[in-house]
Amino acid sequence: MVYQFQESIQRGILYLAKSDENFLIQAMPMVKEGYFDFPSHQKIWRAIKDYYISYKTSPSDEQILECIRSVKSDNELLSDYKDELNLINAVDEKSIANEDFYLDKVEEFAKEQSLKDAIMGSIELLKEKKFGKIEESIREALSVSRDVDLGADYFSDVEGRYERLTSNSIDAQFRTPFETINQELEGGMASKELAMVVAPPGVGKSLFLANQAARSVLDGKNVLYISLEMSEDRVAQRLDSIFTYIKQSDLKANVKELETRLEKIQNHASSVGGLKIKEFPTKRLTVTGLRAYLNQLRNYENFTPDVIIVDYLELMTNADNTMSEYMAQERIAQELRGIAVEYKCLVWTATQTNRKGKEVDVITDAELADSYGKIRVCDLAFSINQKEQEFDEGKARMFVMKSRNGRARYIVPIRIDYGRLVIRQQ
């Protein structure tokens, strides 16, 4: 299928591609030669693109013709291509004065064509039940864009680089509940990062994530808490105690007091963020489903989270059901980090240990359940360690397993108030 736009516009695109390097850079990722109506235009586009990739500069007409000489068929005349280049060069300057118009047209049709190609290709993938491949191809088609970001030039703008690293308005810090960790991280985590807490079943993964949610809300961040195990009301009940210090056992008898304390937090704190709690069925949520929900929050409630908490990783599912559990968990961790980058937020999640996690004194990456690969993409990962005696005393130890931005492999002693569900550093 080809672009359904006028021949003069196709010639205008080719003229801009061979004469304007900025236009060509933006158009190259979107345009395929098959999108042009005429074989001559297809070969000219291929010649311009291939020449630029090889020599990093736009080709002259003579160089375009030389590139075409090697790919044209024997019954084609090079003079015909020369004539076509003359027609391209003769395009009315007024019609190509608005470069953005052509780029918008290219983007519009490229996105449409890519989506049609993805849908057509999904028919065979659907027969083979390769749902992950379908999801990937559709996502790639929807991401077609003329936005170009060529990265940072290391040797230029050194001062600006450090201004960005230290500016809270650009690189917001997200504190953990533990000041020792915050100090090692020069204030806390940053947006576009993935953090993970590791613990055996029943040791406090979800409890920590609830405390982290409260910490971020009190710091003025919008938080989305995704629960894959507990109901929304149960998660909220935990947060009730963490925010108000009312014991879990006393909440039902003190609902009015709870409301009063929560109102005071909202009214008197200098800056309090928003908090959304959303329950999904266990092993039913994919990263694509999470992305769709984030778009719904933005479109219907104008809510954009600064922090996303997923409780917890193993309870998500991978769209590609042909993957082993080992590979699936690694892929989910990779995609959660992708969410962090795409939505410019911090993502927190948790993961289980294997059976040895209950036996060792300090849980390291050797005790991760199913997939070691899931920790590779984390910017921060720590384990919760607790013996029976420590449980009786309301104590535990956080062991920092990995930290991209600070010191790792150290222990932070913590206390857990099991009545009020509050975790704090000793």
- Does one domain contain both 136 and 176? no
**Shared-domain flag, residues 199 and 92:** no
- 245 CB contacts (<8 Å, ≥6 apart)? 420, 422
CA dist 355 → 363, 364, 367, 404 (Å): 11, 13, 8, 27
Q: Are residues 372 and 305 in the same domain?
A: yes
The answer to whether residue 190 is domain-embedded is: yes
Burial of 238 (0-12, 13-18, 19+ CB in 10 A): buried
Helix, strand or coil, per DSSP, at residue 98 = coil
Strands 411-417 and 395-403: antiparallel
Local structure of 83: helix, strand or coil:
helix
β-sheet with 411-417: strand ranges across? 275-279, 223-227, 307-311, 346-352, 193-199, 380-385, 395-403, 411-417, 422-425
Q: Which of 92, 110, 142 is the last residue of a domain?
A: 142
Question: Do 227 and 358 reside in the same domain of the chain?
Answer: yes
Q: How far is CA 336 from the centre of its chain?
A: 6
How far is the C-alpha of 400 from the C-alpha of 344, rounded, in Å? 24
Listed residue (333, 307, 290) closest to 196, CA to CA: 333
With respect to residue 191, please indicate whether it lies within any of the assigned structural domains: yes
Distance CA 369, CA 373 (A): 10
| 134-167 residue pLDDT tens | 766 776 766 666 655 556 666 677 777 777 666 5
β-pairing, 223-227 with 307-311?
Answer: parallel
CA 194 to chain CA centroid, Å, is 9
Contact, 206 vs 391, CB < 8 A?
no
Q: From 109, 142, 175, give the residue that closes a domain.
A: 142
Residues 175-212 have pLDDT tens digits of 999 999 999 998 899 999 999 999 988 888 999 999 99
User: Does 106 share its domain with 199?
Assistant: no
Residue ending a domain, choose from 110, 142, 174: 142
> Do 235 and 336 fall into the same domain?
yes
Q: Beta strands 189-190 and 411-417: pairing type? A: unpaired
Would you state the pLDDT for residue 291? Answer: 87
Is 184 domain-assigned?
yes
Same domain, yes or no: 171 and 77: no
Per the structure, the count of domains in the chain is 2
User: What's the pLDDT score for residue 359?
Assistant: 86
**Residue holding tokens 């997923």?**
310
Q: Is residue 282 part of a domain?
A: yes
Q: In 274-370, which ranges are E strands?
A: 275-279, 307-311, 346-352
Q: Is residue 35 part of a domain?
A: yes
Residues 117 and 170 in one domain: no
**Torsion angle defined by CA atoms of residues 151, 153, 154 and 156, in that order, rounded to the nearest 10 degrees:** -140
**Does any domain span residue 149?**
no
Q: What CATH number is associated with residue 130?
A: 1.10.860.10
Question: For residue 65, what are the domain limits?
Answer: 7-142
Its pTM stands at 0.68
> Does residue 245 have a cis peptide bond before it, meaning omega lies within 30 degrees of 0?
no
Q: Does residue 173 share a domain with residue 137? A: no
CATH of the domain at 246: 3.40.50.300
The predicted structure's pLDDT at residue 364:
87
Measured CA to CA, the distance from residue 298 to residue 197 in angstroms comes to 28
E strand or H helix at 400, and its extent? strand 395-403
CA distances from 407 to 38, 276, 371 (A): 60, 32, 24
Q: What pLDDT, on the 0 to 100 scale, is given for residue 325?
A: 78
* pLDDT tens figures, 20-40: 888 888 788 777 787 787 889
List, for the chain, all residue ranges whose pLDDT scores fall below the cut of 50: 1-3, 168-171
Same domain, 131 and 204: no
Same domain, 15 and 121: yes
Domain annotation covers residue 369: yes
270: exposed, middle or buried (Cβ count in 10 Å: 0-12, 13-18, 19+): exposed
Structural domain contains residue 327: yes
Same domain, 134 and 172: no
Residue 381: predicted pLDDT: 94
